[in-house]
Each structure stands twice: as C-alpha cells, then as structure tokens.
Amino acid sequence: MEARQTLINESAMGRNRAIRQAGRMGLWLNPVFAYFFLWAPILILVLFSFNDSKSVASFTGFTLKWYSNILNNVMGAERAFSTEIMLNAFRNSLFVGAVATAIATALGTLIALAMARGRFPGKGLLDGLLFLPVVIPEITQAISLAIFFKVVFDWFDLISGQRIFPGFHTIIMAHVTFNISYVAIVVRARLADMDPQLEEAANDLGANPWQTFWRVTFPLILPGVIAGALLAFTLSLDDFVITFFTSGVGTSTLPVFVYGLLKLTVTPEVNAISTIMMLLSTLLIGISLAMQGRAASRA
Amino acid sequence: MPMSSYDVELIDIVKDFDSGGGPVRAVDHVSVEIEDGEFFALLGPSGCGKTTTLRLIAGFEQPSAGRILIRGLAMEGIPAYHRPVNTVFQDYALFPHLTVEQNIMFGLQMEGVDKKAARKRAEESLELVRLPGVGARKPHQLSGGQQQRVALARALVKQPAVLLLDEPLGALDLKLRKNMQYELKALQRDVGITFIYVTHDQEEAITMADRIAVMNEGVMLQVGSPREIYEHPESHFVADFIGETNFIPGRMLERYPGGYGKVKLANGSIIRAQLSEAFSRADGPVTVAIRPERIGIAALDDRASEEDGEVTALDAVLAERQYIGTDTRYTLRLQAGIELVARLQNINEADSHEFSIGQPLKIRWRQSSTTVLDR
C-alpha cells in the first residue's frame, strides 16, 4: 500500500517536473521574442547603413561610403544632395532643442515644486492634467497646436493688421508644451525622494525660504533637473510629428529633413543619418538615466 | 529685561489639522511653563500631540488658538528661521550634499558669521559632542550614532535659547541609546540650555528629564517631576503609561481627612488607600492603582505579615511565577477574579522559588503605596 503510494507520487512528480521545464522554457523564450521585435528593425537599419550594396535585398560588404556621402553633398545615384541643408536642419534642431529645453526645464521644475510642496484647491486635477501630454496621441497634439497657432495669429492679424507666420517660435512653443510634462514628472520623482524635513531643518537653522531653496532644495533636486532637461532635449531633437505641423518655411529640423528625403526614395544615406540620430539620442537618454540613478542612490 | 522667568510658555494652545473628514484636534488646550535650563520631556504614545507641540514651538506649524512665548516674546507671526530655538530631528535631517562641517556651519552662515569663525565654532561644536575630526566627511559616511551627534552639534552651535529634540534616540539601537541618554543629560547640564525632549519611551523620560508632561489625545494630562509622575499619577492613563501598574476596581465608601479614603474592592475587602491629588469625589466607582514592586508576599504562617495601621493585607493564591533574572514576577489571584502582579527582587538565588504555584499566600502593601483614581 505504502509502496504504491510512493509510485503514484513519483509519476505525478515526474509530470510536474515536465510541466515546470516547459514553463521555464516558455519563460526563457518570451524575452527572446520580445527583444527580437524591439531591436530587429533597428539592427537592420544600422546594418544596412554599412551595406556596400544600394539594395536592401542583400548584405554584400562593409562600407562607410554612405556616411561619407552625406558629408560630401552626394546622395543616391546621380542626385545632388546638399550637406549644407542637412547641417542647417541639424543646427535648427539643436537651436529649437536648446531653447525649448531651457524654457520647459524652468517651467517644469516650478510646476513640480508646486505639486510636491504646495497646498491649493484643484491640485489633484492639475496633477492629472500634467500627465495629459504624455498620454494623448502626438498627432492630436500636433493638429491642436497647428489650429491654435492659426486661430491666435488670425486674431492678431485682425486686431493689429500684422501677420505672424509659423517659424522657430511656433516650433519652440510646441516643444515647450510637451516637454514641460516630462520635466515635471522627472523632477517630481526626485522631489518625492527628498526628505521634506531637510527644508524644515534649513528653516530651523535660520535660512529663509529663498535661501532654503537655493542652498538645500535646488542642489538636491539638481540631478533630477538635469535628467529632465536631457530628456526634454532628446525628445525635442527626435520630434517629428509636432514639428512638422508647426514649422514654417526654412525652419525644418533634422527629422523633418529626413522625412523630406524619404518622400523621394529610401537610400542608404537615410539609414546612415538615422543611425547617427539614434546614437545621439541613446547617449543623451543614457546620461539622463544615469543622473536619475545617481540621484536615487544618493537620497 | 525678561518679561517672565520662563523660557517657554504655552498658553492655551489648540491645533486643529484639516483631514478629509473634518478637522482633527492634535493639541487640545495645552498650557505649560518651562523654566530656563530645564530638561523637559513631552511623553506620550504616538499620535498624542507631542511632536505637534514641538513643531508649534519650532514654528513649523501655527497654532489654531493660543499663544507661545519664548523668553517672554510672543512668537505669533515669527517664522521658524527667526526663532531662538533649534531642532534635532528624529531622522537627523542632515543635508546629504554638504559635508559634516558645512552642515554645522550652515546655521552660522545664515547669521552672517564669517567663514573662518564659523569653521572654528563648528570644530568646537564637534568636540562638544565628542566627535572631533569628522568635519570633512559626508553624513552618509557616518554611523547612525555619529549622525545623531552631528545633528546635535549643528543645533547647539547656534547657541539657541531652547533646544527641541524630536525622539532623537529613536533610531538608535538599545545599547547606544542608553549611552546617549547619559551623555545627553550630561551635555545639557554642561551647556545649560533648555531642552524640550519628545519621546514615547517612558523610561527615557524618567531617567533624563527634570519634569515630564504626559500627553494623550492632544491633552496634557499631568506635568511633574519623574518621581511625582511615577508615585502620584493623577489619572488612569498616566498610571498605566508610566511603568507597570495593577488596577483594582472598587467603590469609594468614605473620604478620610489627610488624602485617604475607605474603598471596598471588587473582592469584598475594605481597605484604606491614598487618594490621587486630582481625586475629588467622596463616593462612586473608583480604581485603586498599585505598583507591582510595592506588593509584598508572605506565606500564611509568616508572623511579619500581621496587619498594622499602615499596611493592608489580603489573601491570595499564587497563579503564576516568572523568573526574569533580577526579579521574580508573581501573578496572584484574589477573589472575584482579580489578578495582581507583584515583582520581588531576587536578592538570593533561592528567592525565585520560595513560593509554589497554587499556594495560598498573604499579600500586603503600605497604604501610602496605593493611589485611588477615577475609573
């Protein structure tokens, strides 16, 4: 009786082991597939930016000529390509990014402080609204901004007779609107980690609110502010949809310029430009994350 | 020209907090005067309003009603950064981005003390708390006990009129806490600054404080020296919160002159017991409180257990016996289900097993050891 019991248990155990092993296998495969989907397109892009053949059908050999092409006014077969226009678009990107980041970082940090420290009616609602630009579709925001600028400029035209045309100012304002949210979220996370007693301690030791902010609060949230700024700058550099809808003549940023190239044909040079953009963004986000991580470990 | 001889005066302080479901009263009509150079403990369970009271004095909160005077000056409208008080926070609240020296110099620089003088005073302050030579380190490089000392040095370097301490030893382990209790008390005696010390640890309050205020539910129940608080509690709560106490339900029969009363206990015994100072009634239900170490135990045939004019003696049965090293703890059962705990010191090894469980005994106490309280 006892022996039979053992036998049954053993076969049941064997079955369980098989199920467990299958489960483990499945669990192991899951991230493999997930990462494949995530990275395969990007890897292909990077790979073909070094492909000697113009066709994406096969990889025939390693080359850097597409990278040198984009610096030497050559593009595709027999078509002239203006490196100068590309560099100009890149300068535009940096300019828009820098200005939008500066404004968004200042405003986003102030909002984060108000949300973390302030007590005022409607705070919960405002807090929720702050996340809205992060979750609403980019195209919705782009169109709404385009319409908003048009309406405002029409009114201004009606009142003053002066016509304002979209340009850097509209792109920058648009970038500020979505970047504020990201900065505020990052800075707020930093503030949430900060012991509010530190500000009381400063107060207690004779520091007025202004001194308390600059000597205690700001140095402690600075890593968060820098991380938020880097994130904002990256988002600004990468943005296409909103920029496309709010830019004017001669203010194309790099992503808009690349889109312009794509309208004609996909060439290996586009792969090369995209690879460079991706590396730049990854670097900036990496620094941003490192700043946030360092801040968290120090708190 | 001090307007009063008190360092801190709280006059009918009320503090209400707004919580979702209406205002919550954290401090309820508290009035107390704290003398210059006094070590004053605010003692009570968590949520009793002791920390709020401290924060009101520090200026982190504003009272809903009442006045706070520090050295005779009304503190109304004076922000925390202009008050002559400094705080040692529970979790130290050292600035993590500054070195120990910069932390201590912070308060001096806010006063406009020049850097050189501030540095010198910071070093002296570190010596005062017996932690010299750590000025260049960051707070996170120090142990909890060392951080505690830095927090103390940072507050003391400002030479405040009053030092506020919010459970400063709460985060330390037991042994370190005992050492720090001793050191803090010695330090306070040396510097002569008034200490207001918030704690939930009654033992800490008793060992360190000149006077203790026991708080519960926002009310300051009793203020007095540790001895007064321990020996003459004026309420059930205070008697229960400070040390261990037996409570015997009874009924007041008659009030004697000289602060004594005739009480009929629940088991039927009629005893003479000392009334608490706050006790004003002449009859009705009461509670008789007696400390475990004030109860004596004797075998039935023990001659010395005879009742005399000042001693109450009752019959009991030993229900349980617990050996706890220095003492033996006896649980004694009286009639009507009354259980009392007695603690006897183990002067000889044999003391701990002198009486056996189930043995009928005589218990006795001095009438002056009892306190009659409102139920």
State the Cα–Cα distance between residues A55 and A261, nearest whole angstrom. 17
Cα atoms in the 13 Å half-sphere on the side-chain side of B256: 13
Q: Determine the straight-line distance between the first and last CA of chain A, rounded to whole angstroms.
A: 63
Phi/psi at B83 (5° precision): -90, 145
**Partner B contacted by A298 (CB < 8 A):** yes
Mean pLDDT of each 10-residue bin along chain A, 299 residues long: 58 80 85 86 86 78 83 62 79 94 96 88 85 88 93 92 88 94 92 91 95 94 92 91 87 86 74 86 86 63
Judge: domain A77-298, CATH 1.10.150.130.
Answer: no
The answer to whether the beta carbons of residues B125 and B156 sit under 8 Å apart is yes
Residues belonging to chain A: 299
- The ranges of chain B annotated as CATH 3.40.50.300 are 6-236
For the stretch B101-115, what's the b/e string if a residue is b when 16 or more beta carbons lie within 10 angstroms of its beta carbon?
bbbbbbbbbbeebee
Kindly give the residue spans of alpha helices, DSSP state H, lying in chain B: 50-58, 100-111, 115-128, 144-156, 174-191, 202-208, 226-231, 236-241
Q: How many C-beta atoms surround the C-beta of residue B128 within 10 A?
A: 17
The answer to whether the beta carbons of residues A238 and A299 sit under 8 Å apart is no
Q: What is the ipTM of this complex?
A: 0.83
Inter-chain CB proximity A206 and B111 less than 8 Å: yes
Inter-chain CB proximity B93 and A200 less than 8 Å: yes
> Which one of B91, B95, B166 would you mutate to disrupt binding with A, by most A Cβ within 10 Å of its Cβ?
B95
Inter-chain CB proximity B95 and A202 less than 8 Å: yes
**Partner B contacted by A162 (CB < 8 A):** no
* Residue among B5, B22, B150, B151 nearest B71 (CA): B5
State the Cα–Cα distance between residues B252 and B309, nearest whole angstrom. 19
Contacts of B155 in chain A (CB under 8 A): 204-205
Q: How many C-beta atoms surround the C-beta of residue A58 within 10 A?
A: 8
Question: Which pLDDT score is estimated for B333?
Answer: 93
Q: Which residues does residue A151 pair with via DSSP β-bridges, in sequence order?
A: none
Cα atoms in the 13 Å half-sphere on the side-chain side of A280: 16
Cα atoms in the 13 Å half-sphere on the side-chain side of B180: 21
Inter-chain CB proximity A197 and B58 less than 8 Å: no
State the Cα–Cα distance between residues A38 and A26, nearest whole angstrom. 18
Q: What is the pTM of this model?
A: 0.79
Residue type, A242: I
Contacts of A208 in chain B (CB under 8 A): 79, 81
Residue by residue, DSSP assigns chain A as: -HHHHHHHHHHHHHHHHHHHHHHHHHHHHHHHHHHHHHHHHHHHHHHHTTBSSSSSS----B--HHHHHHHTTEETTTEE--HHHHHHHHHHHHHHHHHHHHHHHHHHHHHHHHHHH---TTHHHHHHHHTHHHHS-HHHHHHHHHHHHHHHHHHHHHHHSPPP--SHHHHHHHHHHHHHHHHHHHHHHHHHHS-THHHHHHHHTT--HHHHIIIIIHHHHHHHHHHHHHHHHHHHHH--HHHHHH--TT---HHHHHHHHHHH---HHHHHHHHHHHHHHHHHHHHHHHHHHHHHHH-
| Largest Cα–Cα separation, chain B | 79
The answer to whether the beta carbons of residues A53 and A59 sit under 8 Å apart is yes
Q: CA-based Rg of chain A, rounded to a whole angstrom?
A: 27
Q: Return the structure tokens found at B109.
A: 């620089």
Q: Return the structure tokens found at B270.
A: 């009629």
Angle between helices B174-191 and B144-156 (to 10 degrees): 20
Q: Hey, which CATH number is domain B244-374, 1.10.10.10, 3.90.950.10, 2.160.10.10, 2.40.50.100?
A: 2.40.50.100
* Residue among A182, A177, A152, A174 nearest A242 (CA): A174
Question: Which pLDDT score is estimated for A299?
Answer: 47
Q: Where do the domains of chain A lie? A: 2-48, 77-298
Residues belonging to chain B: 375
* Residue among A107, A132, A100 nearest A235 (CA): A100
Q: Which residues does residue B249 pair with via DSSP β-bridges, in sequence order?
A: B287
Q: Return the structure tokens found at B49.
A: 């309003």
Q: Return the structure tokens found at A27.
A: 């669990």
Kindly give the residue spans of alpha helices, DSSP state H, lying in B220-336: 226-231, 236-241
**Cβ within 8 Å of residue B185, ≥6 positions away:** B39, B207, B208
Question: Which pLDDT score is estimated for B1?
Answer: 42
Task: Report the gap between the CA of B58 and the closest CA in chain A (Å).
Answer: 7
Chain A residue whose CA is closest to B93: A198
State the Cα–Cα distance between residues B250 and B239, nearest whole angstrom. 16
B287 by DSSP, 3-state: which? strand
State the Cα–Cα distance between residues A295 and B169, nearest whole angstrom. 28
B112 by DSSP, 3-state: which? coil
Task: Assign 3-state DSSP to chain B and report helix, strand, coil percentages, each to 5.
Answer: 30, 40, 35
Inter-chain CB proximity A195 and B91 less than 8 Å: yes
Q: Which residues of chain B have pLDDT under 70?
A: 1-4, 303-309
Chain B residues at the A interface, defined by Cβ less than 8 Å, are: 58-60, 79-82, 85-87, 89, 91, 93-97, 106-107, 110-111, 140, 154-155, 158
Q: Can you say whether the dihedral through the CA atoms of B221, B225, B229, B235 is positive or negative? A: negative
Nearest residue, CB atoms, B97 vs list A205, A206, A220: A220
* Residue B324 CB-density burial (10 A; 0-12 exposed, 13-18 middle, 19+ buried): exposed
Inter-chain CB proximity B87 and A200 less than 8 Å: yes
- The ranges of chain B annotated as CATH 2.40.50.100 are 244-374
**Partner B contacted by A211 (CB < 8 A):** yes
* Residue A287 CB-density burial (10 A; 0-12 exposed, 13-18 middle, 19+ buried): middle
Q: Which CATH class is domain B6-236?
A: alpha beta
